[in-house]
């Protein structure tokens, strides 16, 4: 990596020539871009010049729609917010660390040189010269670990380790959320008279409880915590593997569980109230059939997930 | 009234009652037998051996307790764990499990039954599962009736969700904790129903036992207050609730503080504040109720209400204030990570790294609960139909536990009991409805005779003797239905809480009964088959001994772990120190009897991170760490030859992450990935990865095994570079038969004062000048 960076820099003797004017240019670019430099090949090479006495954080991304990089577009606003937060720092500190974004379409050659195959990537280039050169002497770029998430909070926190002063990022006060909350509370209070029978009805709570149980036992939390997509890349909706699932599976499995539970509920508590023998018989057979079929479907779904499962019903 | 089939009418009521209780006892005995027997697969397939990791420590502690007595055990300081820090064992464990086996051991020996302590430990979990079945029966009996209770007992006896943590040999806290959990809940429900201080005290005593046995006691600590709070909010405050809760809380809290590991936590930590808060609220409400009964003035009452609410808010504010001031410790990370699910990964990687702390995908639910998983919501709805105080408990339990089970695989264990209870309620209601012989009248509403003999009906064969007759009482008086679309009115009738004599209900005909019961019995049979299969194949492996199949189908035992541990025990000095990742700490202490740096009691993150750093840095960096900690041997698990996926290379990233948490400048996770962001061990692996001690130890001399052909790591399916790795600071000491365990000896400093690398280079250069090119890598760092 270092080798490549050095090589890249050596190919362009231009940037070695006048470090001072480069530095001025970077400052100017950063000021113009609201703390963020929109990089191209040339300015990237200036920014990551081998004898820099500044440090830099560079986001490698592909924002163009035709690149179809959804994570890039998700991550970009966070990076920009952090860069903007950095621009509020007093000038001496601010100008010793730069934020830059290199889009794939502006820097294809650089992407190739660095061998970057996926985006977004954030790299921190420590200063190689001057007072801010790391004590350990390690000046190879450091990759930011995107497993911290795409949120600006952890990004600012992690990047602050490499900036001269911590990035003064504060999560913006979420007016929208507070407003929604307040509005909901207001609506609730004003309509309390009318909805209180609904709220006091046990069946409202029953529906809520049963839905919670169904969704939870269908792996909803797995999908949320792991950030699983709704369905697979080529339209498959069952994720392979026993300890794995897609978002769509939650819906399908919860629906099957719900239907089966409903069938049992109907058989036990609703059908006995049916006063016509003929009608009742039809319903009993119908719901028994539903149980049988849905259970078979469920077991066959489970067989897909667990290949070694030896049992099967009619499917 | 018509009957679908006739019952013998010449049986006296006394005979019916006696037969019923006899059948019940037989059924319970059979369920206990089935519960114990199905947990013995592990012993039959393998042997009577302690399983997995934590049980090995429990076993070791129990052996100390059995051989040296309780006081020695209580004051036991273990200098070999967490070397060089040591561990005060008595004050850092939940002693309930060891004390239980110790008592059993002493009782049996007093009776002159010389049973080995190991067998007691191995068979403790199956034994307690029978007790769990019984306590679940008692609990469900309070919810519905005996027949539902028997079904619930049968379910929990064999359901894989509970078996997974209680097979023979799985000598862990959960083995006895689920019994205690269910029995405490039973006592609580009983206390609440009867307003009896006796049962409240019993609940407190079993709560104390639970506190002494399992860290999961916090679940009870929060469930009971939650239930009480819900009852108060529903306007169901009663003096029964007051007596039950006050006796449980006062005695239970004082008792729980006697456990040294818990100490003053019940009044100092946020986990316990809900219980304290509800206790305070209950006193206020009780006082208000008392005043209300004595005062009639309307104004005074409204004033009272205002003051009650005010005091409640004040109390809550006080608790929050104390938390901010630091008098009450905020939630611990483990607890907090249940709510904020991203918390653990960022802040406490050591918790996130444990596989049983991962979220649960749906196949796990189905595997562990099978058909109960969809009977469970139906049962919850039936609880809503009646909604007595105890049903509120099941409902809250269902919601809370299903959330927790979704967040952590391990908490499936707390969900399983409530699933069994709710499913049993649903299933037994179904059986009640369709076994009941009376048919409702179609036209006229003449009040017919009720089949008093209904209880004689049973299906004891399936362990579910169904003594009916909640339904017969509702069918007692029949009134003409109002004219409404029949199906709509049926749903409406089902929804309205059952009042006596509202509408006729019942099933017409025999064929309808037959088809539903056939379906139900078929489902039960399938459930039993499923449970047996899951238990025998998935949950009975000791993980100390692995099994595979020979081509002819016979079982092949892979015993590398014990082979290596016994090698350590027999070939190394008794005071030598073994470094391994923390997973194997308890096993090394238990089987090899050697000092370890870190073990499964992950109390000191820095110490673990030190081991992580040693494993993930290069030899030159790791060597001083090893020497400073007096490490003589390094033990790693390597599955590449056999395809054993739970090996250290797969756990390696967690070592890196944990080390990074403490030394972010020296260890960085992205350095262990290829530029493309892949985790590779082949040619493409990053230099940091290739130079890490773990990588070198894992693949040291591995390619030689394959001769001229390409070496392949079977776990990761990648080709290992032929050149192989070199080790300068460690010597290979032992590699087990299938290469699963590899032990390396740490070299002492060179006697000539050279660094070991150049000493090695010198020695090698002299020996093999011609066969090998000169040393490829010079000491450059």
| pLDDT digits 0-9 by tens, B546-584 | 888 888 878 888 889 999 999 999 999 999 999 999 889
Residue of A nearest to B361 (CA): A219
What DSSP designation does B710 have? P
Residue B777 has pLDDT above 70, yes or no: no
What is the structure's pLDDT at B500?
Answer: 46
Report which of B53, B72, B55, B62 is spatially closest to residue B99, judged by C-alpha positions: B62
Cβ neighbour number for residue A157 with a 10 Å cutoff = 16
Q: Does residue B20 lie within any of the structural domains? A: no
What is the structure's pLDDT at B473?
Answer: 40
Q: Which residues of B touch A315 (CB under 8 A)?
A: none
In the three-class reduction of DSSP (H, G, I as helix; E, B as strand; rest coil), residue A122 is classed as strand
State which H helix or E strand residue A194 sits in: helix A192-200
Rounded CA separation A207/A212 (Å): 8
Q: Is B525's Cβ below 8 Å from some Cβ in A?
A: no
Q: Which residues of B touch A296 (CB under 8 A)?
A: none
Residue B465 has pLDDT above 80, yes or no: no
Task: Yes or no: say if B174 and B411 are a contact pair by the CB < 8 Å rule.
Answer: no
Assigned token pair, A256: 């099957």
Q: Is A213's Cβ below 8 Å from some Cβ in B?
A: yes
Cα angle B702, B704, B709 (rounded to 5 degrees) comes to: 105
The residues in B 149-168 lying below 8 A from A, measured between CB atoms, are: none
Cα separations in angstroms, B748 against A9, B633, B695, B752, B764:
45, 11, 21, 11, 18
Cα separations in angstroms, A280 against B75, B496, B599:
70, 20, 63
pLDDT along chain A (315 residues), means of 10: 50 50 80 82 83 84 80 83 83 82 84 78 82 74 73 80 80 83 90 82 91 92 86 81 87 94 92 88 92 93 89 81
pLDDT band at B303 (very low <50, low <70, confident <90, very high): confident
Residue B773 has pLDDT above 50, yes or no: yes
More confident residue, B744 or B312: B744
Task: Yes or no: say if B639 and B647 are a contact pair by the CB < 8 Å rule.
Answer: yes
Assigned token pair, B281: 């609220």
Q: Does residue B92 lie within any of the structural domains? A: no
Assigned token pair, B322: 């104390």
Q: Is A248's Cβ below 8 Å from some Cβ in B?
A: no
B132-141, B296-305, B337-346: segment of lowest average pLDDT: B337-346
CA B40, B46, B50, B55 torsion: positive or negative? negative
Q: How many domains does chain B have?
A: 2
pLDDT tens digits for B498-526?
444 566 778 888 888 999 999 999 999 99
Residue B643 has pLDDT above 80, yes or no: yes
Domain that holds residue B261: 192-330
Residue of B nearest to A259 (CA): B374
What is the structure's pLDDT at A19?
Answer: 64
A48-52, B94-98, B146-150, B209-213: segment of lowest average pLDDT: A48-52
Residue of A nearest to B480 (CA): A275
Shortest Cα distance from A156 to chain B (angstroms)? 14
Q: What phi, psi does B463 have (nearest 5°)? A: 75, 20
Q: Which residues of B touch A256 (CB under 8 A)?
A: 374
Residue B269 has pLDDT above 90, yes or no: no
Residues facing B635 on adjacent strands:
B743
Q: Does residue B451 lie within any of the structural domains? A: no
Rounded CA separation B693/B686 (Å): 14
Task: Yes or no: say if B566 and B591 are a contact pair by the CB < 8 Å rule.
Answer: yes
Name all domains of chain A by residue range, CATH numbers in brackets: 2-159 (3.40.30.10), 218-305 (no CATH)
Task: Yes or no: say if B363 and B374 are a contact pair by the CB < 8 Å rule.
Answer: no
Rounded CA separation A78/B586 (Å): 44
Residues facing B636 on adjacent strands:
B742
> Per mean pLDDT, which of B219-223, B265-269, B473-477 is the most reliable?
B219-223
Rounded CA separation B618/B598 (Å): 20
In the three-class reduction of DSSP (H, G, I as helix; E, B as strand; rest coil), residue B719 is classed as strand
Q: Global pTM? A: 0.81
Residues facing B578 on adjacent strands:
B596, B633
Rounded CA separation A298/A292 (Å): 10
Q: What phi, psi does B26 have (nearest 5°)? A: -60, -45
Q: Does residue B212 lie within any of the structural domains? A: yes
Rounded CA separation A308/B765 (Å): 54
Rounded CA separation B616/B653 (Å): 9
CA B406, B411, B415, B416 torsion: positive or negative? positive
More confident residue, B211 or B671: B211
What is the structure's pLDDT at A17?
Answer: 44
What is the structure's pLDDT at A156?
Answer: 82
pLDDT band at B632 (very low <50, low <70, confident <90, very high): very high
pLDDT tens digits for B576-609?
999 999 889 999 998 999 999 998 887 888 999 9
Shortest Cα distance from B396 to chain A (angstroms)? 9
Q: Does residue B550 lie within any of the structural domains? A: no
What is the structure's pLDDT at A197?
Answer: 83
- Average pLDDT of the residues of chain B: 84
Q: Residues B187, B190, B192, B197: what is their CA dihedral angle, to the nearest 10 degrees?
A: -70
Looking only at the bridges linking them, the beta strands covering A36-39 and A97-103 are parallel
Percent pLDDT > 90 in chain B is 46
Assigned token pair, B271: 């986990």
Q: How many CA atoms lie within 13 A of A97 on its CB side?
A: 27
Instruction: Using the 3D structure, point to which of B309, B330, B351 is the last residue of a domain.
Output: B330
Q: How many CA atoms lie within 13 A of B759 on its CB side?
A: 14
pLDDT band at B100 (very low <50, low <70, confident <90, very high): very high
pLDDT band at B468 (very low <50, low <70, confident <90, very high): very low
Q: Does residue B365 lie within any of the structural domains? A: no
- CATH number assigned to the domain comprising residue B656: 3.40.50.12610
Please measure the distance between the N-terminal and C-terminal CA atoms of chain A and give it in whole angstroms. 55
Instruction: Using the 3D structure, point to which of B302, B330, B358 is the last residue of a domain.
Output: B330
More confident residue, A296 or B462: A296
pLDDT tens digits for B3-33?
888 888 888 999 999 999 999 999 999 999 9
Report which of B58, B49, B43 is spatially closest to residue B172, judged by C-alpha positions: B58
Q: Which residues of B touch A222 (CB under 8 A)?
A: 359-362, 406
Q: Is B509's Cβ below 8 Å from some Cβ in A?
A: yes
What is the structure's pLDDT at B642?
Answer: 86
In the three-class reduction of DSSP (H, G, I as helix; E, B as strand; rest coil), residue B628 is classed as helix
Assigned token pair, A190: 């004003």
B86-100, B370-384, B453-467: segment of lowest average pLDDT: B453-467
Instruction: Using the 3D structure, point to which of B298, B315, B330 is the last residue of a domain.
Output: B330
Across residues B266-279, what is the average pLDDT?
Answer: 88
What is the structure's pLDDT at B495?
Answer: 58
Residue contacts between A and B (CB atoms, under 8 Å): 214
Cα angle B453, B456, B457 (rounded to 5 degrees) comes to: 110
Report which of B228, B310, B326 is spatially closest to residue B274, judged by C-alpha positions: B228
Task: Yes or no: say if B153 and B133 are a contact pair by the CB < 8 Å rule.
Answer: yes
What is the structure's pLDDT at B223?
Answer: 94
Residues facing B473 on adjacent strands:
none
Length of chain B, please?
A: 781
Shortest Cα distance from B258 to chain A (angstroms)? 37
Tell me if A273 and B494 make a contact (CB, 8 A cut-off). yes
What is the structure's pLDDT at B427?
Answer: 94
What is the structure's pLDDT at B327?
Answer: 74
The residues in A 33-92 lying below 8 A from B, measured between CB atoms, are: none
Report which of A92, A219, A157, A59 is spatially closest to residue B402, judged by C-alpha positions: A219
Tell me if B341 and A203 make a contact (CB, 8 A cut-off). no
Looking only at the bridges linking them, the beta strands covering A55-61 and A121-125 are antiparallel
Q: Which residue has the tokens 């904790």?
A: B177
Q: Does residue B718 lie within any of the structural domains? A: yes
What is the structure's pLDDT at B424?
Answer: 95
Q: Does residue B577 lie within any of the structural domains? A: yes
Please measure the distance between the N-terminal and C-terminal CA atoms of chain B and give it in whole angstroms. 96
Cβ neighbour number for residue B552 with a 10 Å cutoff = 5
Rounded CA separation B274/B225 (Å): 7
Shortest Cα distance from A308 to chain B (angstroms)? 10
More confident residue, B381 or B772: B381
What is the structure's pLDDT at A294?
Answer: 93
Report which of A262, A257, A265, A264 is spatially closest to residue A218, judged by C-alpha positions: A257
What DSSP designation does B271 have? G
């Amino acid at each position: 990596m270092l080798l490549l960076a050095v090589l890249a820099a050596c190919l362009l003797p231009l940037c070695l020539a006048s470090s001072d004017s480069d530095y001025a240019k970077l400052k100017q670019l950063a000021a113009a871009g609201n703390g963020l430099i929109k990089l191209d090949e040339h300015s990237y090479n200036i920014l990551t010049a081998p004898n820099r006495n500044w440090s830099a954080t560079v986001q490698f991304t592909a924002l163009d729609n035709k690149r179809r990089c959804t994570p890039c577009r998700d991550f970009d606003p966070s990076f920009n917010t952090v860069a903007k937060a950095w621009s509020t720092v007093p000038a001496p500190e601010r100008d010793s660390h730069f934020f830059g974004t290199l889009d794939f379409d502006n820097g294809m050659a650089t992407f190739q040189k660095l061998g970057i195959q996926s985006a977004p990537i954030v790299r921190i280039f420590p200063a190689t010269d001057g007072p801010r050169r790391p004590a350990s002497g390690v000046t190879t770029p450091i990759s930011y670990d995107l497993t911290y998430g795409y949120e600006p909070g952890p990004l600012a926190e992690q990047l602050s380790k490499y900036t001269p002063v911590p990035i003064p990022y504060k999560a913006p006060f979420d007016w929208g959320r507070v407003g929604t909350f307040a509005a909901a509370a207001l609506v609730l209070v004003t309509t309390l008279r009318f909805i209180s029978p609904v709220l006091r009805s046990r069946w409202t709570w029953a529906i809520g409880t049963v839905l919670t149980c169904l969704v939870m036992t269908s792996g909803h939390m797995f999908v949320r915590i792991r950030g699983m997509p709704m369905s697979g890349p080529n339209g498959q909706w069952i994720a392979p593997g026993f300890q794995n699932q897609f978002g769509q599976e939650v819906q399908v499995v919860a629906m099957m569980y719900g239907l089966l539970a409903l069938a049992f509920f109907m058989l036990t508590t609703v059908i006995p109230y049916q006063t016509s023998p003929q009608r009742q018989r039809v319903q009993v057979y119908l719901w028994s059939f539903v149980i049988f079929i849905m259970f078979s479907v469920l077991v066959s779904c489970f067989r897909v997930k667990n290949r070694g499962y030896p049992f099967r019903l009619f499917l | 009234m018509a009957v679908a089939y006739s019952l013998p009418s010449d049986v006296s009521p006394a005979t019916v009652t006696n037969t019923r209780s006899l059948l019940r006892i037989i059924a319970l005995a059979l369920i206990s037998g089935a519960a114990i027997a199905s947990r013995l697969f592990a012993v039959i397939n393998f042997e009577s051996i302690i399983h997995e990791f934590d049980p090995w420590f429990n076993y070791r502690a129990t052996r100390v307790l059995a051989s040296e007595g309780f006081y020695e055990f209580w004051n036991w300081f273990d200098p070999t764990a967490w070397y060089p820090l040591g561990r005060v064992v008595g004050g850092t464990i939940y002693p309930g499990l060891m004390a239980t086996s110790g008592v059993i051991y002493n009782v049996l020996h007093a009776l002159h039954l010389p049973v080995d302590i190991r067998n007691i430990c191995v068979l403790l979990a199956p034994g307690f599962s029978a007790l769990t079945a019984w306590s679940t029966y008692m609990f469900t009996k309070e919810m519905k009736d005996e027949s539902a209770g028997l079904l619930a007992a049968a379910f929990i006896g064999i359901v894989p969700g509970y078996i997974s943590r209680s097979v023979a040999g799985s000598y862990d806290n959960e083995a006895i904790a689920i019994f205690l959990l269910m029995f405490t809940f039973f006592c609580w429900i009983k206390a609440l129903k009867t307003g009896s201080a006796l049962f409240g005290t019993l609940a407190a005593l079993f709560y104390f036992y639970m506190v002494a046995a399992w860290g999961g006691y916090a679940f009870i600590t929060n469930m009971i207050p939650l239930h009480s709070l819900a009852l108060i909010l529903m306007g169901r405050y009663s003096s029964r609730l007051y007596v039950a809760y006050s006796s449980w809380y006062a005695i239970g809290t004082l008792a729980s503080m006697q456990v040294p590991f818990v100490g003053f936590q019940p009044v100092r930590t946020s986990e316990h504040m809900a219980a304290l808060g509800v206790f305070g609220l209950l006193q206020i409400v009780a006082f208000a109720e008392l005043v209300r009964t004595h005062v009639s003035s309307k104004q005074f009452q409204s004033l009272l209400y205002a003051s009650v609410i005010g005091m409640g808010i004040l109390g809550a504010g006080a608790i929050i204030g104390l938390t901010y001031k630091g008098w009450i410790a905020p939630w611990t990370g483990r607890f907090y990570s249940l709510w904020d699910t991203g918390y653990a990964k960022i802040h406490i990687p050591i918790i996130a790294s444990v596989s049983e702390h991962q979220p649960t995908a749906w196949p796990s639910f189905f595997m562990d609960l099978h058909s109960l998983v969809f009977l469970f919501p139906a049962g919850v709805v039936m609880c809503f139909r009646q909604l007595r105080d105890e049903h509120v408990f099941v409902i809250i339990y269902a919601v809370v536990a299903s959330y927790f089970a979704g967040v952590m695989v391990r908490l499936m264990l707390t969900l399983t009991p409530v699933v069994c209870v709710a499913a049993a309620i649903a299933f037994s209601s179904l059986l009640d409805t369709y076994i009941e012989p009376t048919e409702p009248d179609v036209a006229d509403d003449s009040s017919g005779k009720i089949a008093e003999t209904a209880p004689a009906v049973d299906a004891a064969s399936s362990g579910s003797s169904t003594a009916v007759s909640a339904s017969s009482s509702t069918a007692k008086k029949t009134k003409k239905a109002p004219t409404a679309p029949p199906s709509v009115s049926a749903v409406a009738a089902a929804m309205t809480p059952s009042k006596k004599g509202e509408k006729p209900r019942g099933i017409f005909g025999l064929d309808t009964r037959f088809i539903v019961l056939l379906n139900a019995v078929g489902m039960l049979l399938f459930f039993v088959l499923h449970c047996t299969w899951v238990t025998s194949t998935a949950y009975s492996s000791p993980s100390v001994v692995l099994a595979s199949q020979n081509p002819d189908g016979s079982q092949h035992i892979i015993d590398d772990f014990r082979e290596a541990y016994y090698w350590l025990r027999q070939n190394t000095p008794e005071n030598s120190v073994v470094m391994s990742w923390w997973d194997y700490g308890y096993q090394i202490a238990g089987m090899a009897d050697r000092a370890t740096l870190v073990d499964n009691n992950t109390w000191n993150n820095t110490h673990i991170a030190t081991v992580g750093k040693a494993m993930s840095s290069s030899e030159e960096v790791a060597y001083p760490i090893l020497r400073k900690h007096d490490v003589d041997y390094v033990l790693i698990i390597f599955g590449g030859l056999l395809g054993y996926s739970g090996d250290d290379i797969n756990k390696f990233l967690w070592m890196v992450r944990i080390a990074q948490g403490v030394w972010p400048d020296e260890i960085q996770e992205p350095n262990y990935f290829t530029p493309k962001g892949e985790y590779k061990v082949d040619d493409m692996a990053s230099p940091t990865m290739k130079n890490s001690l773990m990588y070198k130890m894992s693949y040291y001399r591995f390619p030689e095994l394959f001769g001229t052909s390409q070496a392949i790591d079977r776990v990761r399916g990648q080709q290992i570079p032929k050149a192989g790795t070199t080790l300068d600071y460690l010597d290979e000491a032992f590699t087990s038969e299938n290469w699963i365990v590899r032990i390396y000896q740490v070299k002492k400093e060179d006697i000539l004062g050279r660094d070991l690398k150049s000493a090695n280079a010198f020695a090698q250069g002299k020996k093999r000048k011609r066969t090998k090119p000169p040393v490829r890598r010079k000491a450059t760092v």
